[in-house]
Amino acid sequence: MTDDLIYINANEITFFKTAGKLLGAEYGEYRGRVNVVRTFPVSDKNEYLSVRDSDYKELGIIKDLKKFDGDQRALVEEELRRRYFAPEITKVYDANEEFGRILWDCMTSAGKREFVMRDPANNLLRSNGGGVILIDIDGNRYTIRDPRAMGKKAMRILEIWL
């Protein structure tokens, strides 16, 4: 059995803020909290968005968010910014590897952060344009636009895994 993709058009769904200030939607018989997930998070940020119910079951796919009116598009874009919040690392104070984990102490565009990254082979990713994406043990993402600008200690660790 194959599951056919269900595409959601702008006139078929209405997004709203729930009482808890989360994203909700009314779509067919469903009314409640929804999650919007990028199916191609690096290359197509506002195309092919998966809309999922509160149990994370896919309701359908939005092919192109630009086809939605301003208010509806703004609600979805706000949810995407929250979900894919990825501060940029601007300075690495310290980066130490111990027991297969990397302990990072950095300044980011969102302030000073210390975080732990496990399994660097799977959580240190190259991004478009030569940058790097780091994913910590909580699933938070951090970006480094130019790894060479982070200093020798950070580069030694990054070079091993890239």
Query: pLDDT confidence of 115, banded at 50, 70, 90?
Result: very high
Region 70-91 average pLDDT = 92
Cα angle: 153, vertex 127, 72; to 5 degrees: 130
- List the chain domain ranges: 10-83, 89-161
Exposed/middle/buried for residue 96 (C-beta within 10 Å: 0-12, 13-18, 19+): exposed
pLDDT in tens, 116-139: 999 888 888 888 778 899 999 888
Is the pLDDT assigned to residue 78 strictly greater than 90? yes
Is the pLDDT assigned to residue 1 strictly greater than 50? no
- The reported pTM is 0.65
Determine the pLDDT at residue 10.
Answer: 96
Query: pLDDT confidence of 140, banded at 50, 70, 90?
Result: confident
Asked if 60 and 4 count as a contact pair (C-beta separation under 8 A), the reply is: no
Exposed/middle/buried for residue 23 (C-beta within 10 Å: 0-12, 13-18, 19+): buried
Is the pLDDT assigned to residue 64 strictly greater than 70? yes
Determine the pLDDT at residue 44.
Answer: 73
Kindly state the DSSP code that residue 7 receives in the 8-state scheme.
B
Is the pLDDT assigned to residue 2 strictly greater than 60? no
Task: Determine what percent of the chain is predicted with pLDDT higher than 70.
Answer: 96
Q: What is the DSSP string of 61-105?
A: EEEEGGGS-HHHHHHHHHHHHHHT--PBEEEEEEEEEETTEEEEE
pLDDT in tens, 28-54: 999 999 999 998 866 678 899 999 999
